[in-house]
Amino acid sequence: MIARPFFSVPLPRREPLLLGARTLVMGILNITPDSFADGGTHFNPTIAVESGVRMVADGADILDVGGESTRPGAEPLDEREELRRVVPVIEELAARVTVPISIDTYKASVARAAVRAGATIVNDISGLQYDAELGRAIAQTGAAAILMHTRGRSAGMYELAVYDDVITEVSAELRTVLARAAAAGIAAESVILDPGFGFAKKAEHSTALLAQFDALAKLEHPLLSGPSRKSFLKTAIGERIPAERDWATAAAVTASVLYGAHIVRVHAVRAMADVVRVADLIRDSRMKSWQSRCSVQQ
């Protein structure tokens, strides 16, 4: 186990996001009728806002609002419809909660509107590949950027899930993402990286990435882990609908924390906040023991 580095990620209009002392919980708020994991529960804006408020009460440190389903095979959503779904929810949440709000989008116009509405983080599944203007939009708004590894678009990403050494290749491709962000003017300290479980990856690839998550520390950026209810968990537990994968998610979240994730992105906030607290306790205890042994040896 390696020490988890500390980071201070600047955010517009608020204090920086401090990462490393404890694992932060990001609550997923999908404003979609076809979410793979919650079946469109939050498609109604009023319900979505109340759910977001409840997630914060249950332990969410960040809320991630998304208006377009990005599950494998999903169809792209019209920009106007995405704006119609997310902007009112973000505006209302920004007035009612104190935690940072993230917008889950790969569109520059949606990112700009969301930041104006109160979001301070842009969560881009494309790693700045889908919209050439998104990087500039993030840089100009001063928002933090969560940049994920993927290959291709949702409809054909599994055809590109071919790896000789998944951790080495994903790490190399994330370095390309970092170079893309720098070229767009995004400050290095504003970037958080996500290896993208399930995106252009078969189950064995996602499992291997999680098992070697600590190797991603070499990228020298904060790390987000998003295993919540993903299909790769079925390799261990068998065929289950997404809503019945929370126990499996808890195991993946625990591994994420022990292997150095700074943020975990989850659906079941209340339960996973407890999982994170215990995993952090175990990690901290092990680190103290390791540091004590190193001190004695010196």
Per the annotation, the verdict on 283 as an active-site residue is no
Residue 249: other Cβ atoms inside 10 A: 23
Q: Which of 85, 107, 229, 265 is catalytic?
A: 265
C-beta of residue 31 within 8 angstroms of C-beta of residue 67: yes
**Active-site residue, selected from the candidate residues 229, 230, 245, 283:** 230
195 contacts 170 by C-beta, under 8 angstroms: yes
Q: Look at residue 17 and give its three-state secondary structure.
A: strand
| CB-side neighbour CA atoms (13 Å) of 262 | 26
C-alpha dist (Å) from residue 131 to 92, 125, 134, 136: 27, 11, 6, 10
Question: Of all helices (H) and strands (E), which one includes residue 82?
Answer: helix 79-96
Q: How far apart are CA 18 and CA 40, in angstroms?
A: 32
Distance between CA atoms of residues 49 and 43, nearest Å? 10
Q: Based on the residue annotation, tell me whether 201 is a catalytic residue of this protein.
A: no
Active site residues: 230, 265
